[in-house]
Structure 1
Amino acid sequence: MTVTEEAAEETRFSPRAQIAGMLSLLDRPLTSYYLILGCSMLLLALGLTMVLSASYVIQLNLTGSPFTLLIRQATWVAIGIPMMIVTAMLPVKAFRVLAYPILLLSVLALVLVLVPGLGTNVNGATRWIDFGGGLRLQPSEPAKLGLVLWGADLLARKEKLRMLTDWKQLLIPLMPGTAVVVMLVMLGNDLGTTLVLFTVFLALLWIVGTPGRLLLGMTGLILMLTSILIVVEPYRFKRLTGFLDPSGDPLNGNYQGNQGVKAIGSGGIFGTGLGEGRFKWQYLPHGDTDFIFAVVGEELGLIGTLMVLGMFGLLAYAGLRIARRVRDPFMRLAAAGTTAWIVVQAIVNIGAVIQVLPITGIPLPLVSYGGSALIPTLLGLGMLLAFAKREPGARQALAARGPGPVARALSWLGLGRAR
């Protein structure tokens, strides 16, 4: 080997070259597709594991079986993944057609929640319709998906007609429609979902190119409304004061938040070990839902929490990459709105657990127990997969890859043909 060849070989395996090679993977056509699919499956697997770990002690005492919540959550996952796959195969037109029925049905369900005898109050919030047998629906969860689709379709139509140069066209009817959904959610005392809906509204305005002054004004108005909603409701105001003074009322208002921080702190760098946590022995309220991140921190340590943050960070990158690369205005708006919904909800949940944000009672997407939140989230991710396949060069890359496992399975069963 000549000196020139040796130098080229050293350059090829240098740290800088290896980093450049890894970064080049982000420029491939199907990067967004695989990031969303991979992170979603990893978070689902982590969620099933942590739901079992966080709940088995209490469920063994309540039901005689440690696997009660795991079986329920696994059932929702088994329903949700095929729905996600089917959603990823839908044409863009289907999402625009479904936008209005999903939003209208969600609004109707939110109204039914407020009807005495139909709505169920859980932990101070009337968010659920109870069908009996442990089956409950939280209408505010599909309302997030409905608002994303409806808002994206509405603004895309107006952009096509060049109507968005007028600030009134930007806000009407988007702002009144969002206000109706928010009002119904707030009548059920669900501040966490309200914040997510406001985030979707602002994300849609930002992506469509709203002038900075108008966007800043809308942000200020939302902050003012949120402050009023907190102050007028005693239990929400108590949560805010408890957040500002964590040392006060340690056995009542601040008990859950303090226990969550202690659980994460006790995990150290590597954690106590999967299933070895102590706080789930009835020392941490809602450890399988709102505070499951605390169980992750205790049992998997700093490494586990950083992995969770990293996966949500990759989901944010992939979703915004889709919004930047697709040409269709509806896809751009819907991708940004869905990404904002899922990522901001994760930030609000994690922020509450580590006491940098007040407790709002919303679940960690894909990880916390609950089918009402899981199914709409998987549908939203399926929609992002459908959009990712329409990025520049993605169709050619998929065609070159050949038929996937689903297509091959259908072919083997005689229900389809391999391409």
Structure 2
Amino acid sequence: MSAPSETGAFDLTRLQPKALMRRLESPVAPYYLLLGSTAMLLLFGLVMVLSASSVTSYQASGSSYTVFKNQALFAGIGVVVALIASRVSVRAWKWLALPAFVLAVLLQMAVFSPLGLTVQGNRNWIGFGGFTIQPSEAGKIAIILVAAMILTRKRKVLSEWRHVVIPLIPMAALLLGLVLLGHDLGTTMVLASIVGAILFVAGVRMRVFAFFGGLAAAVALAFVATNSNRTGRLDAWLGTCLNAQTAGCYQKVHGLYAMADGGWWGVGLGASREKWSWLPEAHNDFIFAIIGEELGLPGTLAVIALYVALGYACYRMIVTSKDFFVRLVTAGVMAWILVQAVINIGSVTGLLPIIGVPLPLVSSGGSALVTTLFALGMLISFARNEPTCKAALAARPSAVKRTLAVLPLPRR
């Protein structure tokens, strides 16, 4: 809502396209867009996890709030982690890049130890005590930091392909290979997209970029062709689904049922029918279908708009920041969140085969939520410490001062 004018009426000129564009081009826009879109996606996700998981949670534990409580706990941890990340300097991130990558590889290797767990055919988890973690989520942060650090140091020689390949590509191949060995194709695709986005923003020659992109696509196709379950999903996407009982079609069909049932305006928050043990992973990979069923087209468009706002903030940071490392890290996090969101939404709506990745900040999942908030906390720190943004924020009085300025002084 626009601010009131001196006459008391609202200034409609602030709502004009040119005025709106000036606000979006403000030096503080990336900071506020990152902060606002992250907070809104997180809160919206908590509401939808509670709604989507209530039935199956009650069946499994006798309480409709079990899954929601776990998600709320991890959200709290994630917010604390994001606050810590937002206070770390760029120099510290560069120093932490290599240790973080080594730790991520060791954790990913631990998946194949007795601590490793297999969930729905993917061996990509570690369990100890009553907790489970997904090391590949930490691997996303690690590969972003180490790739940005290496390419920043080699910035002046990136026109030579050997400096692009060594040592980044073998390091990335090691991490991606370990994740792929655990049969997690979705996470492998996201990791490959992260590396590709960082190379693109770094200005790597297109022929090098195209070669490794084609190689990654060939590996993904080979992995699908040698796995009957994934081949079935691809066949289902190509139109072989006759009904929900057709092999590989159950989840896809019930996801589309949920979206169709919601229609334009939805059946109402909490009133989903598909979450009553019909749609598998309703609170996780297919939470977007429940959003469409309960909140209709406005709900789904609101989620997409928040991702667009987050992506625009990252884009502004990439094109305006003078720090090469910050630009590359921002590109990696942007690719991580947006590619994962596109894969998830495409899988649910039938535009893509069902690949199985969560919707960032919205789907249930502790490891994914904490690491995503950690990465966004890092970007918020970058945005706030950009010289123009820092100066603009410093020039503004605090909320407390603004409030005190308009309060009437007490009479003596």
TM-score when normalising by structure 2: 0.91
The answer (yes or no) to whether the contact 2:251–2:280 under 8 Å persists in 1 is yes
Q: Secondary structure at the match of 2:196?
A: helix
Q: Find the counterpart in structure 1 of residue 199 from structure 2.
A: 205
Deviation at 1:402, TM superposition (A): 4.5
Deviation at 1:250, TM superposition (A): 2.9
Match of 2:47 among 41, 46, 49: 49
Q: Find the counterpart in structure 2 of residue 6 from structure 1.
A: none
Q: Secondary structure at the match of 1:393?
A: helix
Q: Find the counterpart in structure 2 of residue 243 from structure 1.
A: 237
Match of 1:229 among 207, 223, 231: 223
Q: Does 1:99 align with 2:97?
A: yes
Q: Does 1:307 align with 2:302?
A: yes
Match of 1:137 among 120, 133, 140: 133
RMSD after superposition = 1.8
The answer (yes or no) to whether the contact 2:58–2:64 under 8 Å persists in 1 is yes
The answer (yes or no) to whether the contact 1:39–1:311 under 8 Å persists in 2 is yes
Q: Secondary structure at the match of 1:245?
A: helix
Match of 2:170 among 166, 172, 176: 176
Q: Does 1:63 align with 2:61?
A: yes
Q: Find the counterpart in structure 1 of residue 344 from structure 2.
A: 349
Question: Does 204-213 or 342-351 show the bigger shift?
Answer: 204-213
Q: Find the counterpart in structure 1 of residue 403 from structure 2.
A: none
In 2 relative to 1, CA 173–354 (structure 1 residues): closer, same or farther, beyond 3 Å? same
Q: Secondary structure at the match of 2:157?
A: coil
- Give the aligned residue type for 2:381: A
- Give the aligned residue type for 1:290: D
Q: Find the counterpart in structure 1 of residue 25 from structure 2.
A: 27
Match of 2:79 among 78, 81, 85: 81
Q: Secondary structure at the match of 2:123?
A: strand
Q: Secondary structure at the match of 2:351?
A: coil
Q: Find the counterpart in structure 1 of residue 404 from structure 2.
A: none
Q: Secondary structure at the match of 2:63?
A: coil
> Tell me, which stretches of 5 or more residues in structure 2 are unaligned?
1-9, 401-412
Deviation at 1:21, TM superposition (A): 1.1
The answer (yes or no) to whether the contact 1:88–1:386 under 8 Å persists in 2 is yes
Q: Secondary structure at the match of 1:130?
A: strand
Match of 1:370 among 330, 353, 365: 365
The answer (yes or no) to whether the contact 1:114–1:187 under 8 Å persists in 2 is no
The answer (yes or no) to whether the contact 2:243–2:253 under 8 Å persists in 1 is no
The answer (yes or no) to whether the contact 1:44–1:367 under 8 Å persists in 2 is yes
Deviation at 1:323, TM superposition (A): 1.0
Deviation at 1:390, TM superposition (A): 3.0
- Give the aligned residue type for 1:196: V
Q: Secondary structure at the match of 2:132?
A: strand
Deviation at 1:213, TM superposition (A): 2.1
In 2 relative to 1, CA 266–249 (structure 1 residues): closer, same or farther, beyond 3 Å? closer
> Tell me, which stretches of 5 or more residues in structure 1 are unaligned?
1-11, 406-419
Mapped partners of 2:117, 2:15: distance in 1: 58
TM-score when normalising by structure 1: 0.90
Match of 2:327 among 325, 332, 348: 332
- Give the aligned residue type for 1:329: F
Mapped partners of 1:179, 1:354: distance in 2: 31
Deviation at 1:391, TM superposition (A): 2.8
The answer (yes or no) to whether the contact 1:271–1:300 under 8 Å persists in 2 is yes
Name the % identity.
42
- Give the aligned residue type for 1:137: I
